[in-house]
Amino acid sequence: MKKIIVTDKSPKAIGPYSQAVEVGSTLYISGQIPLDPVSNEIVQGGIREQTEQVLKNIGLILTAAGYSFNDVVKTTCMLADMNDFAAMNEVYAKYFIKDFPARSTFQAAALPKGVMVEIDVIAAKK
């Protein structure tokens, strides 16, 4: 059974998609960009600040659905510039500290709203 997850604590979807969808004990979180959930504006700063906001937003959705970063099994990280990989990875490592999820990272020709990073995740409970 499919359950749509929506939380006011994370930025609202900017298109015809859900923040997250849960099927059984698996949660699929749509790509998150560095939108401040209060102002609905892109956070200022560079790749570190943007990655931090993206992961905060993901954390809020995980929590709303009853999951945590420890439940994440797969991430997809999209960067506007692959030269930002090391800096993005430093911030990412603060959220994933052991039993790391599988991950794909690639450079995208363009990301929504001209952001530097977008990340989606899949989480699963035992």
Domain that holds residue 42: 2-124
| CATH at 83 | 3.30.1330.40
Please state, in angstroms and rounded to a whole number, the distance separating the CA atoms of residues 105 and 74: 11
Total domain count, the chain: 1
> Which residue in this structure is represented by tokens 């899949």?
122
Q: Are 33 and 112 in contact (CB under 8 A)?
A: yes
Residue 5 has pLDDT above 90, yes or no: yes
- Report how far apart, in Å, the C-alpha atoms of 32 and of each of 45, 61, 114 are: 17, 10, 13
Question: Is the predicted pLDDT of residue 93 greater than 90, yes or no?
Answer: yes
- 76 has a pLDDT exceeding 90: yes
Coil, helix or strand for 94?
Answer: helix
Residue 15's pLDDT is: 84
Using the predicted structure, report yes or no on whether residue 12 has a pLDDT greater than 90. no
- Residues 13-67: pLDDT tens digits? 878 999 999 999 999 999 999 999 999 999 999 999 999 999 999 999 999 999 9
pLDDT of residue 122: 98
